[in-house]
Amino acid sequence: MTRDVERISALQGAGGELMGRLLKEHVLSRFSRRSAGRIGLDQLDDGATIDLPQEGEVVITTDSHVVKPIFFPGGDIGRLAACGTLNDLAVMGARPLALTLGLVLEEGFPIGDLERVLDSLDGVLVEVGAALVAGDTKVMGRGELDGIVINTTGLGVAAGPGGRAIGDADFAVGDRVVVSGTIGDHGMALLASREEFHLESSLRSDVAAIWPAIERALAIGGVKAMKDPTRGGLAAALNEMARKSQTCLEVEESAIPVRDEARALADLVGISPLDVANEGKAVLIVEAAKVGDVLAALRSHPLGQDAALIGEVTSEYRGRVVLSTGVGGRRFLEMPLGDPVPRIC
Amino acid sequence: MCLAAPGRVIAIAGNEATVDYGGVRTSARLDALGEPVAVGDYVLVHTGFAIRRLSPEDGEETLRLFDELLASLQEVPRPPRAGDVGEGR
Amino acid sequence: MTRPFAFGDPERARALADAILLLVPAQRVKIVHVCGTHEVTITQHGLRRLLPERVEILEGPGCPVCVTPTRDIDLAVRLAEAGAILCTFGDMTRVPGTRRTLEDARSTGADVRTVLSASEAVAISRKTDRDVVFFAVGFETTAPMTAAILLDRPPPNLSVLVSHKLIPPAMAALLGLPGAEVSGYIAPGHVSTVIGTRPYEALSNEHRMPVVVGGFEPLDVLYAIALVLRQIRDRSPRVENAYPRAVTEEGNRRAQAMMAEVFEASDVAWRGIGTIPASGLALRERFAAFDARRRFPAEGVEGEETIPGCRCSEVLTARAVPTDCPLFATRCTPLTPVGPCMVGGEGACSIWFRYGGRPRL
């Protein structure tokens, strides 16, 4: 017996009564925190207001998400959409205040899936104490879009010393390189879940909003730069930081925390955990004198429990990243090119 | 040309074994192996086929071979040769 | 958790590097290996940095994708364009034929599918009535799998474009090329798991050539290098097995038997090298019905196009390294490859590019 799955219809995309009902019953009702100022989501006004604290630079960021599959081990596109944007704010040193949500849905998209995705997104907002204050929903015809596209724009306020946001390149020779936890989890989990590989694994995405752990690190002081190693992984993030700052980042392979299962998969398909996305991690460049305390602060939070010192900023090969390999060799850690393809034979 | 990974056999069903590589599992065909294999054995798998059975003792044996070579070089005094000193490090 | 077959501890690596220093002769030594996975281990772990300057280790024709002749690519492209479902391993899709790559064919509507195993091609052919062609590339580690599926009641709509090649004849052929100057070989571990160590004896005896069969962990490679140097020091060139946990003298008899039942040796062309006698595999008469070459005969163009400036043929024959080529990392990159060495994931140029292009950092 087939049960009729309730699905998005083209009519709902047309605005008017049906759209209104869709929003009310299936979208707006999913969110627990709906305002960050006088005018919020409930007012369904043309915009929302945000109460800002007295000081601190305002930081804004945006991301669109098209991840497939939309439900993956450890998370889904909703969680990813929230964490991606909130983590961009976090690594700028900004406390997240509010999120907007742009949804584009394919006609026929199951409403149950939509609710699951939005619930996930809401869960993250509750975790960090931010609100969903504005949004937009559109429907495209069957086949014109693959399922769902989500855009989130996030707004936060710099919470570090002097209210200054923290960039990704303002550091110097002698500073230390830290990662907030295990590397490669999200990318390797998604790789393992790809049907064509016929693999079973217990790998799960690390997708999480890391502000609560970063906040503790910032309170110590000495954090000079941060970046979230998403697409292209740790290798891409380190290379971008090295290029922009025109310094050399020298890291120790054996110091980079990698889960055993991620390593096992890496050996199997010939793709490095350093080259794949992380969705719940940060790279921090920290003043040498403060790095011990910063590590302790990160480790005091579950999201930073595997934080590790992995290297140092030098001037040997400016603009490059050098890896000291576990066996005692040395090579450049390069910017990965495009989507990693498994080696087979 | 030889990407083959060693894993542990955790189940066998006819011609196919489930192999665990430390949290990641695949299935591997056994028809090209040429010897019996049991749950708990290790196999080397290439493009979905097991090509060799391994045992952890083989791993220990490998370390013994390395150490044997190292020991043998310590016993024999190195004959001096021109051009050797300080080269290449 | 324990990984009983991971060998990479830095203390033993240091000790083996010291051993290499003790064993290295006064003259320059050029060690050649013929396996992309060996090159990856060496480059990924930065092993060249642990070797004295006068010990060079180079990849020879160890990239099956790189040495597949243009004629075979053209045939595969033609079959895909004619409507067959063309199944092949990863990098094959980006290797240039005379006109196009399989990737190009895919982008204009041909059904080209990446598979991870010969059995996947079989699974695909069971789900359709269309012609399915499996483009079988690889050396002796991979050929038994092609044999296995052909011995296992393959469906009639499946055919195989066999482009398997054999390593020992290539190792011998290399020695006859001008400027070869090979001091010793490291033979590929997993090819040897299948074929054993005996096939290397002829070339070792005839050329008084050290041949050490090596494994793929970082310590395995350092150990194999040390054994080559020891043979040179002792003037006792022979076939030596440095990977006994995975390789025996007789090899995997079952896999060999399957290959012998399905294939016969044939003279084939290696891109960048030319034709090497008895260096490839062709399907026996009994399997003619599954032979894509017989089902779909090719008018092929013999010979390869030479690309101006590209030094792939020298890189493939261990007479040049990627950084010797003026196109390396300038015009020729993995995203904009000029020659096959940059396309194949096991090609020296592709590997060096991926790991920074500076072997002794």
pLDDT tens digits, residue range A89-140? 999 999 999 999 999 999 999 999 999 999 999 999 999 999 999 999 999 9
CA distance A5 to A109: 9
pLDDT of residue A16: 80
pLDDT of residue C303: 57
Contact A128, A209 (CB under 8 A): yes
pLDDT of residue A332: 96
CA distance A210 to A226: 12
pLDDT of residue A309: 98
Tokens of B50: 């097991």
CA distance C116 to A217: 44
Dump pLDDT digits (tens) for A133-188.
Answer: 999 999 999 999 999 999 999 999 999 888 999 999 999 999 999 999 999 999 99
Q: Which of A105, A136, A162 marks a domain boundary? A: A162
A202 reaches B (C-beta below 8 A):
yes
Nearest Cα residue to C117 out of A337, A199, B63, A244:
A199
Q: At what angle do helices A77-90 and A111-128 cross, to 10 degrees?
A: 30
Q: Which of A162, A184, A199 marks a domain boundary? A: A162
Q: Which of A162, A191, A215 marks a domain boundary? A: A162
- Residue A345: which of C89, C218, C334 has the nearest Cβ? C89
Is pLDDT of C319 > 50? yes
Let me know if residue A345 belongs to a domain.
no
- Give this complex's ipTM: 0.88
Mean pLDDT to the nearest integer, C185-200: 97
Helices (H) and strands (E) in chain B, counts: 1, 5
Helices (H) and strands (E) in chain A, counts: 8, 14
A200 reaches B (C-beta below 8 A):
yes
CA distance B79 to C22: 9
- Do A221 and A306 belong together in one domain? yes
- Residue C1: which of A260, A322, A328 has the nearest Cβ? A260
Contact A89, A61 (CB under 8 A): yes
Q: Please name the residue of chain C whose CA is at the shortest distance from the CA of residue B73.
A: C19
CA distance C293 to C274: 20
Is pLDDT of B55 > 90? no
Contact C315, C348 (CB under 8 A): yes
Is pLDDT of B83 > 50? no
Number of domains in chain A: 2
Dump pLDDT digits (tens) for A10-66.
Answer: 887 777 888 888 888 889 989 999 999 999 999 989 999 999 998 999 999 999 998
CA distance C126 to C123: 5
Dump pLDDT digits (tens) for A193-221.
Answer: 887 778 888 899 999 999 999 999 999 99
Let me know if residue A15 belongs to a domain.
yes
β strands within chain A, DSSP E: 58-65, 71-72, 75-76, 94-106, 131-140, 148-158, 176-179, 200-201, 223-227, 248-252, 283-286, 308-314, 321-324, 330-332
Is pLDDT of A319 > 70? yes
Concatenate the DSSP letters of all residues of A283-302 into one string. Answer: EEEE-GGGHHHHHHHHHTSG
Range of the domain at A235: 176-332
Contact C132, C123 (CB under 8 A): no
Mean pLDDT to the nearest integer, C75-94: 91
Let me know if residue A180 belongs to a domain.
yes
Q: Quickly state the pLDDT bin for C302 (edges 50, 70, 90).
A: low
Q: What is the pTM of this model?
A: 0.91
What average pLDDT does chain C have?
93
pLDDT of residue A121: 97
Contact A103, A136 (CB under 8 A): yes
Interface partners of C (3+ CB pairs, < 8 Å)? A, B
Strands C85-88 and C132-138: parallel
Tokens of A199: 């693999």
B25 reaches C (C-beta below 8 A):
no
* CB neighbourhood size of C151 (10 A): 14
Nearest Cα residue to A58 out of A84, A100, A94:
A94
A327 reaches B (C-beta below 8 A):
no
* Residue A327 C-alpha, separation from nearest chain B C-alpha, in angstroms: 15
B82-89 own/partner pairs: CB under 8 Å, 24+ apart: B82/C26, B83/C26, B84/C24, B84/C26, B87/C24, B87/C52, B87/C53, B87/C54, B88/C21, B88/C24, B88/C51, B88/C52, B88/C53, B88/C54, B88/C55, B89/C21, B89/C52
pLDDT of residue A19: 83
Contact A321, A259 (CB under 8 A): no
CA distance A113 to A19: 17
- State the greatest distance between any 2 C-alpha atoms of chain B, in Å, as a whole number: 62
Q: Where are the domains of chain B?
A: 5-75
- Do A145 and A280 belong together in one domain? no
Is pLDDT of B64 > 80? yes
pLDDT of residue A256: 98
Burial class (CB in 10 A: 0-12, 13-18, 19+), C129: exposed
- Do A81 and A187 belong together in one domain? no
Count Cβ–Cβ pairs < 8 Å, chain A vs chain B.
45
Let me know if residue A276 belongs to a domain.
yes
CA distance A98 to A87: 13
Q: In the 8-state DSSP scheme, what is residue B83?
A: T
* C15/B65 Cβ within 8 A: no
Nearest Cα residue to A190 out of A83, A76, A337:
A76
- Do A188 and A225 belong together in one domain? yes
CA distance C217 to C243: 10
Let me know if residue A76 belongs to a domain.
yes
CA distance C85 to C63: 25
- Residue C19: which of B46, B63, B73 has the nearest Cβ? B73
What is the CATH superfamily name and number for domain C70-167+251-295? HypD, alpha/beta domain 2 (3.40.50.11740)
SS3 letters across chain C = CCCCCCCCCHHHHHHHHHHHHHHCCCCCEEEEECCHHHHHHHHHCCHHHHCCCCEEEEECCCCCCCCCCHHHHHHHHHHHHCCCEEEECHHHHHCCCCCCCHHHHHHCCCCEEECCCHHHHHHHHHCCCCCEEEEEEECCCCHHHHHHHHCCCCCCCEEEEEEEECHHHHHHHHHCCCCCCCCEEEEEHHHHHHHCCHHHHHHHHHHCCCEEEECCCHHHHHHHHHHHHHHHHCCCCCEEECCCCCCCCCCCHHHHHHHHHHEEEEEEEECCCEEEEEEEEEECHHHHHHEHHHHCCCCCCCCCCCCCCCCHHHHHCCCCCHHHCCCECCCECCCCCCCHHHHCCCCHHHHHHHCCCCCCC
* CB neighbourhood size of C127 (10 A): 10
**Sign for the pseudo-dihedral over CA of C156, C160, C161, C166:** negative
In chain B, residues with a C-beta closer than 8 Å to the C-beta of C3 are 22
pLDDT of residue C202: 97
Contacts of residue C67, defined as CB under 8 A and 6 or more positions apart, other chains included, come to: C61, C165, C270, C271, C272, C273, C316, C340
* A268/B5 Cβ within 8 A: yes
Is pLDDT of C168 > 50? yes
Q: Where are the domains of chain C?
A: 70-167+251-295, 312-354
* A326/C10 Cβ within 8 A: yes
**Distance from first CA to last CA of chain C, Å, rounded?**
32
- Helix (H) / strand (E) containing A221: none
Let me know if residue A44 belongs to a domain.
no
* B47/C142 Cβ within 8 A: yes
Q: Find the CATH number of the domain harbouring A185.
A: 3.90.650.10
Is pLDDT of B89 > 50? no
Contact A70, A117 (CB under 8 A): yes
Which of A238-242, C152-156, C300-304, C347-351 shows the lowest mean pLDDT across its residues? C300-304
pLDDT of residue A345: 45
Is pLDDT of C83 > 80? yes
Tokens of C22: 């003790």
C190 reaches B (C-beta below 8 A):
yes
CA distance B85 to C123: 60
Let me know if residue A342 belongs to a domain.
no
B75 reaches C (C-beta below 8 A):
no
* C355/A328 Cβ within 8 A: no
Q: Give, in words, the CATH class of B5-75.
A: mainly beta
CA distance C325 to A2: 63
- Most confident of the following: A40-44, A325-329, C233-237: C233-237
In chain A, residues with a C-beta closer than 8 Å to the C-beta of B5 are 267-268
CA distance C148 to B31: 7
- Residue B32: which of C138, C191, C254 has the nearest Cβ? C254
The torsion region of residue A74 among left (phi > 0), alpha (psi -120 to 50) and beta comes to left
* CB neighbourhood size of C177 (10 A): 16
Q: Find the CATH number of the domain harbouring A114.
A: 3.30.1330.10
Nearest Cα residue to A140 out of A9, A6, A7, A5:
A9
* B24/A203 Cβ within 8 A: yes
- Residue C37: which of B2, B59, B61 has the nearest Cβ? B2
Q: In the 8-state DSSP scheme, what is residue A54?
A: S
* B47/A345 Cβ within 8 A: yes
